[in-house]
């Protein structure tokens, strides 16, 4: 995200109805979303609506973009988001040093942040012992395409590059690629279509046709490649 915290965010509405994909990654992390949860870069609340099933005592939404923050506040006021939600127009750097969480999540956010190393280092300080830090991001830099650039991605991640961000005093519980069929779709766009934005029909086709196949092929290929990458790090008791 840029220094002024203004984020275009057009893709948030485009992918808001990608329910198969969201349910797919959600099942891998839902058991960890308990106690006090911090969602960094909450956008317009689409991820919150999927993941927040009231199992958390508190769900803090951080969103520095003024327009998106206002949308979050409207959804909280109207009851569109669960009652355990609060929103702040902040980043993790603005948090009080005495504020701690059981789980911090970055869902398609870290790739938008210029200094991802500093971001993760700050976030790690706000986790309780045995708390979880979860990152879901686009995978493989060689798949960078006009769409990535149009929505402000600084990078995509591999297992090697994402592992380098693992904070000291944390252990890795998950590091895997997801959406193997989406990987090939992204490759086609990179080499042939070169679209800055997919159409609504393309997103729906990917979500309804490719994701169900990816759920099978990802297991067959042992999560060895995919369009996205998921990391789950657990803070040690003594950290």
Mean pLDDT of 44-54: 92
Mean pLDDT of 82-91: 97
**Cα(116)–Cα(123) distance, integer angstroms:** 10
What is the pLDDT confidence band of residue 5, given thresholds at 50, 70 and 90?
low
pLDDT at 3 over 70: no
What is the pLDDT confidence band of residue 10, given thresholds at 50, 70 and 90?
low
pLDDT of res. 154: 96
pLDDT at 135 over 90: yes
For residue 193, what are the CA distances in angstroms to 75, 96, 145, 190, 227? 36, 46, 10, 7, 17
198 or 28: which leads in pLDDT: 28
Mean pLDDT value across the chain? 93
Q: Which of 122, 94, 83 is nearest to 106 (CA)?
A: 122
CA 16 to chain centre: 13
Q: Let me know if residue 147 belongs to a domain.
A: yes
Q: Let me know if residue 23 belongs to a domain.
A: yes
Tokens 């000291």 belong to which residue? Answer: 168
pLDDT of res. 12: 66
Per the structure, the complete domain to which residue 40 belongs is given by 10-235
Q: Let me know if residue 1 belongs to a domain.
A: no
Q: Let me know if residue 227 belongs to a domain.
A: yes
201 or 178: which leads in pLDDT: 178
Question: How many separate domains does the chain show?
Answer: 1
For residue 44, what are the CA distances in angstroms to 12, 14, 66, 95, 112? 7, 12, 11, 20, 15
Q: Let me know if residue 198 belongs to a domain.
A: yes
CATH of the domain at 186: 3.40.50.150
What does DSSP say about strands 228-235 and 56-62: parallel, antiparallel, or unpaired?
A: unpaired
Count the Cβ atoms, other than its own, within 10 Å of residue 32.
20
Assessment of whether the complete model's pTM goes beyond 0.85: yes
pLDDT at 6 over 80: no
């Amino acid at each position: 995200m840029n220094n002024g915290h203004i984020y275009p965010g057009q893709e948030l509405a485009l992918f808001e109805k990608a329910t198969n994909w969201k349910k797919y990654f959600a099942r891998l992390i839902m058991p960890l979303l308990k106690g006090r949860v911090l969602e960094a870069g909450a956008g317009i609340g689409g991820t919150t609506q999927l993941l927040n099933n009231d199992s958390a005592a508190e769900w803090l939404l951080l969103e520095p973009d003024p327009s998106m923050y206002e949308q979050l506040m409207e959804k909280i006021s109207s009851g569109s988001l669960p009652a355990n939600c609060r929103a702040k127009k902040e980043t993790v750097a603005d948090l009080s040093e005495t504020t701690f969480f059981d789980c911090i999540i970055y869902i398609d956010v870290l790739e938008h942040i210029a200094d991802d190393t500093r971001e993760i280092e700050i976030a790690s300080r706000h986790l309780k012992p045995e708390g979880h830090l979860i990152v879901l991001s686009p995978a493989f830099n060689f798949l960078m395409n006009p769409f990535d650039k149009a929505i402000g991605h600084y990078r995509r991640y591999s297992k090697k590059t994402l592992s380098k961000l693992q904070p000291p005093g944390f252990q890795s519980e998950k590091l895997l690629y997801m959406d193997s069929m989406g990987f090939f779709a992204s490759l086609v766009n990179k080499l042939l279509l070169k679209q800055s934005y997919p159409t609504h029909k393309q997103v729906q086709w990917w979500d309804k046709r490719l994701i169900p196949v990816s759920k099978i092929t990802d297991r067959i290929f042992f999560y060895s490649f995919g369009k996205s990458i998921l990391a789950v790090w657990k803070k040690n008791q003594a950290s």
